[in-house]
Structure 1
Amino acid sequence: MNPTIMRLTARALLGRRRVLLLLPMPIVLIGLTLLGVASEDEYVTAGDWGPLVFGNLGLAVILPLTALIVGSSALGLEIDDGTITHLLTKPLPRGEIILSKLTVAWLVTTAATAVPLAVAALIAGSGALAVGMVVGAAVGSLAYSALFLALSVMSKRPVAVGLVYIVLWENLLVSFVDGARVFSIRQHAGALADAIGDTPLVDSSLTVLTAVLMAAAFATLGTYAATRRLRSFALTGEAN
């Protein structure tokens, strides 16, 4: 990894207006958690509202959308405005560039998702779930970031493609086809959070081993694909 690339990438990501899109989502998550806790009585339990807030919103919407915004911007913005040529003219291995970009995207996404998820879990009264959410968000962020970083160098419209993937695959298909859950990053993150938290607030049918192995596969394949694609870029900033 290259510290200079990482520093410049972090500065570019955090200085973009697009990052402002990340702010409302954690606020909504924490607000709904407060409402859920306040509504609990003998008829409404944590098991009624928890999976909706933590699973269907936190892990199914906030985590992938944040990763999409950050991951597609880490390198995609430089490709769009042509400044990628500055990197391509440097005697740097393409793998080093991708790993540096991926690390920053992963850290930013993890910070933007793990913190509000952990706070929401603490509000719900589960310290164990807070830890589980941090671990699940970190693993999910890495897999998603690698996937969306790869999309940013393979597609001219990575955000649109990423949104289609999130809506159709991560939310619709996995809801109707049980076998598809093995290939769902959302389910990988949920499995880790569920195993560590061990509460009715999160529910997952995947084993921890399956979740870890599949998340690692997504991260590895995404990094490899992005590196291979970047190697095909000419000094014009476009793929040959």
Structure 2
Amino acid sequence: MSTVAMITARGLFGRRRALLLLPLPLLLVGLAAICRAYDLSPDQWGQAVIVGLGFAVVLPVIALIVGTGVLGSEVDDGTLVHILTKPLPRRDIIIAKYGVAAVTTAVTTSVPLFFVGLMAGSASLGGALAVAAVAGSFAYSALFVLLSLVTRRPVLLGLVYILVWEGLLGRFLSGTRVLSIEQYVITIADKLSPTTILTAQVGITTAAVMSAVFVIVCTVAAINRLGSFSLAGETS
């Protein structure tokens, strides 16, 4: 499993795709720094930067880039066949790749969000945002790794989930929030460090349980899906 994880990490950071991980976090911290430099109250910019950009864009988009990258390219170019010929359980392959995706996303998003929270209020808020980002990273990564196995257009479907389900429907239809990772993240951060900047739309129990459900269900589904691949690179 560790070998697969090392190969995955080397391949992920060895491609130009890795460069796509930098602009959004830098933009997030940069906007917060500008607002802080102009001595604006966090109530004036916090929600737009933290929720509108950090939780609604930076976190899911980076998770999408990484989550679809750890397996998607191997499915497309056929190199997944070489991995399947190794005497490794499908479970170990998925867990290793999912682990790389989740940890990479967590580090890339939690660090800038911590600094944004620090500039918006306190270390407590920064810590809450970082913890919430880690939770969201694991849930989003599980979903996007699964999408890379069930469709040839995982990025497109991932964007539909982010922009349409969470971005559009999640703001107007309360029922969709139960299946919105963004709402789980907001709730977790708000409960850890209550602030007027964040407004929880679901209960903390729902957020915690459903985050775990996303991770478990999507990971199990990904393992089963990988098990259906034949050595010809096709699915049965």
TM-score, length of structure 1 as denominator length: 0.94
Match of 1:85 in 2: 81
Match of 1:3 in 2: 2
SS at match of 1:223: helix
1:52-63 alignment to 2 at 5 Å? Answer: 52-63=48-59
Asked if the contact 2:105–2:137 (Cα under 8 Å) also holds between the matched residues in 1, the reply is yes
Match of 1:189 in 2: 185
1:160-171 alignment to 2 at 5 Å? Answer: 160-171=156-167
Match of 1:27 in 2: 26
Match of 1:12 in 2: 11
Deviations for 1:22-78, whole angstroms, at most 9, x for unmatched residues?
11101111121123324455xxx3223211110111011100000000000111111
Letter in 1 for 2:22: L
SS at match of 1:213: helix
Match of 1:237 in 2: 233
Tell me, which stretches of 5 or more residues in structure 2 are unaligned? none
Asked if the contact 1:46–1:200 (Cα under 8 Å) also holds between the matched residues in 2, the reply is no
Tell me, which stretches of 5 or more residues in structure 1 are unaligned? none
1:199-218 alignment to 2 at 5 Å? Answer: 199-218=195-214
* 1:72 maps onto 2:71 in alignment: no
TM-score, length of structure 2 as denominator length: 0.96
Equivalent residue for 2:137, pick from 129, 138, 141 = 141
SS at match of 2:88: coil
CA distance in 1, matches of 2:59, 2:174: 21
Cα RMSD for the two superposed structures: 1.2
Match of 2:42 in 1: 46
Letter in 2 for 1:209: T
CA distance in 1, matches of 2:22, 2:89: 35
CA distance in 2, matches of 1:203, 1:36: 21
Asked if the contact 1:55–1:202 (Cα under 8 Å) also holds between the matched residues in 2, the reply is yes
Identity %: 47
SS at match of 1:47: helix
SS at match of 1:9: helix
Equivalent residue for 1:97, pick from 82, 93, 116 = 93
Deviations for 1:106-148, whole angstroms, at most 9, x for unmatched residues?
0000011001111111122311111111111111000100000
Deviations for 1:160-217, whole angstroms, at most 9, x for unmatched residues?
1111111101111011012211210011111111111212232222222111101111
SS at match of 1:235: coil
Asked if the contact 2:42–2:121 (Cα under 8 Å) also holds between the matched residues in 1, the reply is no
